[in-house]
Structure 1
Amino acid sequence: MAVNKRAAGADKEQLAARYLVDNGYTVLERNFRNKTGEIDIIAKKDNYIVFVEVKYRSNNKYGYAVEAVNYRKKQIIRHVAQFYMATRYKSCDIPCRFDVIGIDGETVTHIKNAF
């Protein structure tokens, strides 16, 4: 039986969002996109805007989930984050960071300031 990757991805993004809320974050946006790309979750904690990329692997045959965020993906996330900040906030003084949540099977790994 084939697994619907889109549904599985949405399920894991929901798990990541719950993880963030359980750890004191406020989720501001999910699947924010523009013509450049998409950011899975945008959250806020301690006055930081946090841009979160969620990656899932059912097993580590091809590496761990957090290892799947390559240079190109980081560049896309940075560009989308710049667009988000420019359209949502007038001040340039709001700190932000880029996190990765990797889900390997049922294990959640949260890397703060990943890039």
Structure 2
Amino acid sequence: MSRLKGDIAEEKACEYLNSQAFKIVEKNFYAKKLGEIDIIATKDNIYHFIEVKSSNSYESAINNITTSKLSKLKRSVEYYLQKKEINSSFCIDAIIVVDEDIEFLENITF
């Protein structure tokens, strides 16, 4: 997927989160040698670390959330929490964007 398509998907995801009363804390947090966290948001005192995936089909997008990707994301989250000295509840979520359809998958695990 091109960077432009990824940026558009992330913008749609942020609009969705804002409409659901989330507060966007940060976008595209890069953890050196670990990876990137697409969106960091809070709601009800819980941090949500969100992976955004976009494709021409739901199946294609969801299949891009691999065990390896989740493992890197988890390490990036741990780094972020330590760096920012945050001691709060958190979860890892995904937002799937297919055209104008958005699906929010909360608290994904592997």
State which structure, 1 or 2, has the greater radius of gyration over its C-alpha atoms: 1
- % same residue: 29
For 2:41, what is the secondary structure of its paired residue? strand
| Partner AA of 2:8 in structure 1 | D
CA displacement, residues 1-28 of structure 1 (integer Å, 9 cap, x when unaligned): xxx7101100110100110011010000
For 1:30, what is the secondary structure of its paired residue? strand
Q: Residues 64 and 104 of structure 1 are in contact (CA less than 8 Å); yes or no, is this contact kept in structure 2? A: no
Name stretches of at least 5 consecutive residues in structure 1 with no aligned partner: none
| Partner AA of 2:71 in structure 1 | Q
Cα RMSD (Å): 1.4
For 2:7, what is the secondary structure of its paired residue? helix
CA displacement, residues 26-80 of structure 1 (integer Å, 9 cap, x when unaligned): 00010001111001000000110000000001235xx242232000000010000
Q: Which residue of 2 aligns with 1:34?
A: 31
Q: Which residue of 1 aligns with 2:72?
A: 76
* Normalised TM-score (structure 2): 0.91
> Residue 90 and residue 70 in structure 1: after superposition, are their counterparts in 2 closer, same or farther (change >3 A)?
closer
The number of aligned residues is 108
Q: Within 5 Å, give how 1:103-114 maps onto structure 2.
A: 103-114=97-108
* Normalised TM-score (structure 1): 0.88
Q: Residues 59 and 104 of structure 1 are in contact (CA less than 8 Å); yes or no, is this contact kept in structure 2? A: yes
Q: Which residue of 2 aligns with 1:86?
A: 82
Q: Distance in 2 between matches of 1:105 and 1:68?
A: 17
For 2:15, what is the secondary structure of its paired residue? helix
Q: Which residue of 2 aligns with 1:44?
A: 42
Where does structure 1 differ by over 2 angstroms across 4 or more consecutive aligned residues?
Answer: none
Deviation of the 1:90 alpha carbon? 4.7
Deviation of the 1:114 alpha carbon? 1.2
